[in-house]
Structure 1
Amino acid sequence: MPRTLEPAEVWTTESGAPERLVWRARRYRVDDTPTPLVGPADWWLPFDGHDVAPGRPPLAITGWRFQASTADGETHVFDVGHDGSHWHVLRVFD
């Protein structure tokens, strides 16, 4: 599973789900239902070492996984994340 962390431009729906992206100067359109990638909520990090029984740390969407294709048929599965100001391609699956 290659790790890339490359810059990308991502357009999202009103709910925040990706619908288009430009990566390596190619335009892709999301052609499946994006899956949220989740991890511990940022505000929880100061409490990370504490026991949270019962239960687990609160989760937040940390990125998205989706399949996207170019107009000429190039298709990849992308993991993308947003660092607060920019989108990045985290992984690409062929």
Structure 2
Amino acid sequence: MSAVEVEHEVTLWLVDDIPARMFYAGRRWRVTDMPTRLRDSIWRAGSSGGGGLYGWRFQGTDEAGESYVFDVYRGEDDWHVHHAYA
């Protein structure tokens, strides 16, 4: 598994406060596993500002069947992809 360092905005749709689908990098992604909540401590090492961040890790599969594992976090106004694992 290789990690890709990214920090791009993403549109994330939640169902019952859990990620269900997203639009990222010009593609539509379905969440195809059970998302794992990432707590504040995971972001401290790689983020400026630190406190109060939370996010999710989940597998997303696009319309062509390509899958990645995404780490996404909630910023002040929107969601961001922090890592994508192929």
Normalised to the residue count of structure 2, the TM-score between the two structures is 0.78
Query: Which residue is 1:70 aligned to?
Result: 62
| Matched letter for residue 11 of structure 1 | W
Q: Tell which deviates more after alignment, 25-34 or 79-88.
A: 79-88
Report the equivalent of 1:91: 83
Q: How big is the shift at 1:72?
A: 1.1
Distance in 1 (alpha carbons) for counterparts of 2:4 and 2:65 = 21
> Which 4+ stretches in 1 moved above 4 angstroms?
none
State the superposition RMSD in angstroms: 1.5
Could you tell me how far 1:92 is from its partner in structure 2?
0.3
Percentage of matched positions with identical amino acids: 34
Query: Aligned partners of 1:61 and 1:2: how far apart in 2?
Result: 20
Question: Against the structure 1 CA distance between its residues 26 and 74, is the aligned structure 2 distance closer, same or farther, given a 3 Å change threshold?
Answer: same
Count of aligned pairs between the two proteins:
74
What secondary structure, in the 3-state scheme, does the structure 2 residue paired with 1:29 have?
Answer: strand
Q: TM-score, normalised by structure 1?
A: 0.72
Deviation at 1:86, TM superposition (A): 0.7
How many Å separate the matches in 1 of 2:61 and 2:9?
18
After TM superposition, give the deviation of residue 13 of structure 1 in Å.
Answer: 1.2
Give the number of the structure whose alpha-carbon radius of gyration is greater.
1
Amino acid at match of 2:19: P
1:61 offset after TM fit, Å? 6.9
Whole-angstrom CA distance in 1 between matches of 2:8 and 2:53 = 19
Which of 65, 74, 78 in structure 2 is aligned with 1:82? 74
> Deviation of residue 2 (structure 1)?
2.9
Cα deviations by residue, 1:34-89 (Å, 9 ceiling, x for unpaired): 0000125xxxxxxxxxxxxxxxxxxx771000001012111100000111311100
